[in-house]
Amino acid sequence: TGTFSRGARGLRFNPVAPNKNDVVTVADGYGQNIVIRWGEPILNGAPAFDPDNQTAKAQAGQFGYNCDYMAVLDMPHERHQQVLVINHEYTDEVLMFAGYDAANPTREQAEIAWAAHGLSVLVAAEDRRSGKLTAITRHRLNRRVTATTPFEVTGPAAGSELLRTSADPAGKRVLGTLNNCGGGITPWGTVLSGEENFNQYFGNAEKVTDPTTAARLKRYGISGGASERKWERFDKRFDVAQEPNETNRFGWVVEIDPFDPESTPRKLTALGRFKHEAAEPRLTDDGRPVLYMGDDERFDYFYKFVSSKRMMKGTSRAAREHNRTLLDEGTLYVAKFIGDSPAAEIDGSGKLPEDGEFDGRGEWIPLASGNKSYVEGMTAEEVYVFTRLAADKVGATKMDRPEDVEPSPRTGRVYIALTNNKDRGAAGKAPADEANPRNANKHGQILELAEGWNDPAADHFSWRLFLVCGDPEDPSTYFGGFPKDQVSPISCPDNITFDAYGNLWISTDGNALGSNDGLFGVATAGSRRGEVKQFLTVPLGAETCGPIVQDRRVLVAVQHPGELDGASVEKPASAWPDGPGKLVRPSVVAVWRKDGCDIGV
Ligand code: FEO
Ligand code: CA
Ligand code: CA
Ligand code: CA
């Protein structure tokens, strides 16, 4: 077999079959290399990875754990270099530390984990003949942001009483970012990163007696008892009983300027607080940025933010100063999806309604704008800090876990990955609706949203389901109308991105069909719309993250390889990437064509 196969331009490769290989398996004719592994030094002075003698200080100069979203930016004046900004979502202590005792972690282990969270900024060099990409360690732009790096809080809730703590009585300076999941690149060259499941880091919430505070903690999943990692033993800010407002300082979108290593990254309160998955931009015709954002929780919501300020073009100092304020002023909205088929035709089985499509219209419901609240009984500050509670009050649509979102650079249509929802239709839970049409939804769906007049600032939209995922032989699946005997099975869409041809690329997390997770490409227009093709699979226990599809290379972050029930350093479930007897290491992989040509042409 060769490199070529039929398919939409950009997707001409032979699909990879579902498998349980403990390696990264790529399409025929493609090669791969590891760009960077957990623990490799990226800053000046950082030591080589030595798992038997790991320290927090070493980790703070090394690539962090569990690489997730990646942003790739061109390096000015350097044609063959790129700047990567990479999220480190969380730590897997049992896979990081030999003999880890989950009931009694040591201070050093906690501090290593703080240093392994956050972000890496990393410059990488392209090979001129192939698509191979290699990290440039110790480049002047390389940077680590961790769970202890100072952040500035900006936007309308900065300084709010709800954000003040004993360490920060002004409510404007937070140490660290946690559980950074998806993200986005702004049109002015900064990178956004969403703080997702931050609830897991806080302990002792059951000791909070004030009922309002307790209800807010509960809505954000901050439950009682010790936290999984016991960080509250080593820093009281993780102890909710002692510092109840510290939790309110996480769950934001953060913005970082990768080209200024001295800059202070910021937490953007105008974008609301929830389990932020990602934040992906469009620009209005008059130059105002709009961000689309999902809250990754079963029955949570989809949001957008419309800035009231226009972007200044260029990279002058004045432009950079101005553009850093764009996401502080504007209006935050939440989405309501209204199906166009009779409710009786949506029976939870996934059977298509009589009009042949899961589709309808929708409304953007405003929540707050500056210091004005549109939600009865809540101040604007409360809307920003407790956005989920605001959205609960206004009749927003409860979705099947909004993961990544991506506007098509060709059409402006916005694609939303709704990864799964095992509780859809369960007793006491929301039943299936046209946008979330399957009860006990194991495989997820991808929704395509078209703004009114294709204006990202519009207050209404239309939508349809593009993919209803699963085994194509399962009658509840739908592949954009494409013949289902010609597509790859796909389950649990998570991170998504577009290539230069307008094809959507989808990485998966938690494949419920029994094979490893992977990366898939699918045409969104033309006669091949809906033809899903699998491009690669990742090793056992891993999730496929942060896909980037460039002309000559595909980049994926292989997150949590070997994370399977009961696995540990002593009983590994994967030997990737360094082989048997070595720790598993989350890593970034570049995939390219062995003949040096472009991907999928
Ligand atoms: Fe971190 Fe929603 O995945
Ligand atoms: Ca319909
Ligand atoms: Ca994306
Ligand atoms: Ca996921």
Q: Report the C-alpha gap between 184 and 186 in whole angstroms.
A: 6
Instruction: Ligand 1, residue 401: give the atom nearest the CA.
Output: 2
Start-to-end CA span in the chain (Å): 16
Q: How far is the CA of 352 from the centre of ligand 2 (A)?
A: 8
Name beta bridge partners: 332. Answer: 305, 368
The alpha carbon of 90 and the centre of ligand 1 are apart by a number of angstroms equal to: 10
CA of 198 to the centre of ligand 1 (A): 11
Is pLDDT of 3 > 60?
no
CA-197 nearest atom, ligand 1? 1
Q: Which atom of ligand 1 is nearest to the CA of 495?
A: 3
Ligand lying closest to the C-alpha of residue 351 = 2
Confidence of residue 499 (pLDDT cuts 50, 70, 90): very high
Work out the mean pLDDT of the chain and round it to a whole number: 97
* pLDDT higher than 90, residue 289: yes
**pLDDT at position 4, please?**
56
Q: E strand or H helix at 58, and its extent?
A: helix 56-59
pLDDT at 159 exceeding the cut of 60 = yes
What integer pLDDT is reported at residue 519 of this predicted model? 98
**ipTM computed for the complex:** 0.92
Is residue 581 over pLDDT 60?
Answer: yes
Expressed in angstroms and rounded, the spacing between residue 597 Cα and the centre of ligand 1 is 33
Atom of ligand 1 nearest to the CA of 68: 1
For 399-454, how does the pLDDT look when each residue is reduced to its tens digit (9 = 90+)?
Answer: 999 999 999 999 999 999 999 999 999 999 999 999 999 999 999 999 999 999 99
> Dihedral, CA atoms, 164, 165, 169, 172, nearest 10 degrees?
-50
Atom of ligand 1 nearest to the CA of 89: 1
What is residue 472's three-state secondary structure? coil
Residue 2 has pLDDT above 80, yes or no: no
- pLDDT for 58 equals 98
Q: Are 59 and 42 in contact (CB under 8 A)?
A: no
Separation in Å, CA 1 to CA 29, 30, 180, 436, 486: 8, 12, 40, 40, 18
Per-residue pLDDT averaged across 531-560, rounded? Answer: 98
**Dist. CA 443 → ligand 3 center (Å):** 19
User: Which amino acid is located at 540 in the chain?
Assistant: L
Whole-angstrom distance, CA of residue 51 vs CA of residue 44: 19
For ligand 1, atom 3: residue with the closest CA: 181
At residue 315 the predicted structure's pLDDT band, cuts being 50, 70 and 90, is confident
Separation CA 83–CA 332 (nearest Å): 30
Contact 449/417 with Cβ under 8 angstroms? no
Mean pLDDT of 577-594: 98
pLDDT score recorded for residue 1: 42
What stretch of H or E contains 171? none
Pairing mode, strands 180-185 and 173-175 = unpaired
Cα(438)–Cα(436) distance, rounded to whole angstroms? 6
Q: Is residue 90 within 8 Å of 179, Cβ to Cβ? A: yes
CA distances from 408 to 221, 280, 454, 490 (A): 33, 10, 12, 21
Which among 37, 17, 257 is positioned nearest to 152, based on CA atoms?
257
Residue 47 has pLDDT above 70, yes or no: yes
Residue with the smallest CA separation from ligand 1 atom 1 is: 181
- The answer to whether residues 587 and 539 touch, using CB atoms and an 8 Å cutoff, is no
**Ligand with the closest atom to the CA of 556:** 3
Ligand that comes closest to the CA of residue 495: 3
Residue 137 predicted with pLDDT over 70: yes
* 210, burial (CB in 10 Å: exposed 0-12, middle 13-18, buried 19+): exposed
CB of 463 closer than 8 Å to CB of 337: yes
Atom of ligand 1 nearest to the CA of 196: 1
The Cα–Cα gap between 250 and 241 comes to 16
Nearest ligand to the C-alpha atom of residue 433: 2
* Nearest ligand (C-alpha, residue 419): 4
Residue 496 has pLDDT above 80, yes or no: yes
Instruction: State the CB neighbour count (10 A cutoff) for residue 430.
Output: 17
Evaluate the omega torsion of the peptide bond into residue 342 and state whether it is cis, within 30 degrees of 0: no
Work out the number of other CB atoms within 10 angstroms of the CB of residue 74: 11
> Which value, in Å, is the radius of gyration of the alpha carbons in the chain?
23
Quickly tell me which residue has 């500056």 as its tokens. 370
Ligand 1: list residues with CB < 6 Å: 89, 181, 196, 277, 296, 403
pLDDT at residue 5 in the model: 76
* Residue 214 confidence (pLDDT) above 50: yes
C-alpha of residue 243 to centroid of ligand 3, in Å: 34
Give 509 Cα–ligand 4 centroid separation in angstroms: 5
pLDDT band of residue 6 (cuts 50, 70, 90) is confident
CA–centroid distance, 310 to ligand 1, in Å, is 31
pLDDT at 86 over 60: yes
Give percent of the chain above pLDDT 70: 99
